Every structure is written in structure tokens, then in C-alpha cells.
Amino acid sequence: MIINLKNTTKQPMRIKAFLKSKGLSHRLISTAKHEGTMKIDGHKVSTTDVLDAGAELNLRLPKEKSDANVPFSFKPVEIVFEDDNWLVINKPVGLSSVPGPSNREDTVVNRVKGHLKDQGSKDLIPHVITRLDRDTSGVMLIAKNRLAVGVLAPQIENHDIEKKYFAFVQGTLKEKEGLIDKPIARAEDGIHREVSETGQQAQTRFQLIQQYDTYALVEVELLTGRTHQIRVHFASLGHPLLGDQLYGGPMDKKIVRQALHATSLKFVDPLTDQTHLFEVPMPQDMENLKNV
């Protein structure tokens, strides 16, 4: 993996401090120093050398070898955007994000791994940034190498990646917009999540888009990223998602999975300082719920 990083500040910086400013961890900087190479204008440098303002650092890291426990899948993946470091896809319903005990053969990770191999990439470990439940559709962000993951880490930790969803929820909403601020913890069965004072902070902002007779369409923004957060929060208000059997949602509305779709994702690429916004349309099973 080779990448060029430009010092866009007006001041020279020691390379170690420069790499830290880009979000690289101490471990990744150490890997670059001892296992990779760093060059300025074709000359090898060390982390103690200085990168002038406006100058570029050429950074080479060892390739990430394929994990034999995660097989390649060459089934199709719908690509929304791709460059050297990022892959944005539109995940279909029924496809898990990552391999697990019950499925190690065909997940987003397996398919992206196959896609990378087809491209001739030497880095064959996809890094899922925004995971979706198996039966949630929509936009997902995947880093194609560990450097991309490293520089995005501050945005991940600070919940700065903007994620918006469409959801159909049961009942009539009293408020047209609001903030659900309830901590979430794992339930005793290990499968469910539940609102609990002992849980982790979880915040969900919502806006009513359309009220129907017995259910509503809402746009939801995740301010944190807990497992099943949207599903748990709306169920706790007495408005479970249509089709969400796990959390008590109605199963008679002509949709056989939770009516939840990740519709947009926005983040800043730390390697280029460019802001990216990606949007994907609602799938047909949810579109059908609008036409009643």
C-alpha cells in the first residue's frame, strides 16, 4: 500500500507529529517506521525528520495478507463509490455485514474481499466502518486498507460520521421531531438490546416525514452507534419498526423484515480533506409502504 500525504499547514512538522495529526496510531506509525518506507522527493526519511509546509510524504506500508478463515466470495456488490482507500456500497436485505459463526462464506466482507482480489489489490482485508444488521438495507462505508482506518479513527470515536436512515414505525407519533436519549445495554439472552440505566449512552434524532393511518415514516439520524439502536429506541417509545419481530413490530404490513434503510452517509476523507456525501434510494419493499 502506497499513499502520498501532503502537509497542508503553513508550518513545517516533524514526520511523527505530522502522522499523528493525520490520525495514525502509535502502532501504525511504528509499523511504517520499521516495516515500511517513508520518502520525501524520492529520498528515504525517518519519523524524526521534518516535512516542510506544502511538501508530500510518500508512505509505503506492508500489504495486508488474506485471512484464510474468511473465504473470497465473487457474488456481486453494488458499488456507489470507490477510490484507492474507500469503498461505499448499497447493501441488500438479507446480507450480513461481517462473517459470524453461522455464516463465514457470503457476507459484505467476503464479497468485498473478492472484489479487491479481482482488482489485483495486495491489501485483502476489508475494514467495515459502518456496519448494518443483516436485514437492514442501505449505504455502507468500507476502508480498503489499515491506513484509511487509522486516519478515520478520530471521526469514528467522536461519532462525526453522519448516518441517516428511513424507518417505518408503528402507531401515531405525537411529536414531529425529537431526540431519544436513552442508554442501551445487552439483554440477558445475549441477542436483544434494551434500554437500561446501566447501558451505554445512545442518542437518536428523528423527524416525522409522513403519518399514515396506523404507522409513520421517519427520518432518523444516529448520534451514537449502538447495536440495534434505532430499533430499541423506537420500541421503547411504543413505536416498534414494522416487520421487526425481534422487538415486537407488527408483521401484517406486507414487509417481512425490519423497515429500516440507511439512506445517506457523510464523512470527511482525512487524506484529502474532501467531504463526501452518499445517498441511496429506498428499496422496493419499503417504497411499497408509501403507496397505501
pLDDT digits (tens, 9 = 90+) for 223-232: 999 999 999 9
On the question of pLDDT at 1 being above 80, the answer is no
* 133 tagged catalytic: yes
Q: How confident is the model at residue 190 (pLDDT cuts 50, 70, 90)?
A: confident
Give residue 36's pLDDT. 84
The pTM score is: 0.89
Residue 171: Cβ-neighbour burial (10 angstroms; 0-12, 13-18, 19+): middle
On the question of pLDDT at 34 being above 90, the answer is no
On the question of pLDDT at 108 being above 90, the answer is yes
Cβ partners under 8 Å of residue 194, min gap 6: 184, 185, 186, 187, 232, 236
Check 133, 135, 244, 252 and give the catalytic one.
Answer: 133
Taking all residues of the chain, what is their mean pLDDT, rounded to a whole number? 93
Q: Tell me: the pLDDT tens digits for 132-186?
A: 999 999 999 999 988 899 889 889 989 999 999 999 999 999 999 999 999 999 9
Q: How confident is the model at residue 3 (pLDDT cuts 50, 70, 90)?
A: confident
Report the DSSP beta bridge partners of residue 5. 57
Domains parsed from the chain with CATH numbers? 2-60 (3.10.290), 63-158 (3.30.2350.10), 162-262 (3.30.2350.10)
Residue with cell 447493501: 91
Tell me the CA distances in angstroms from 222 to 88, 185, 227, 238, one per residue in order. 18, 16, 11, 19
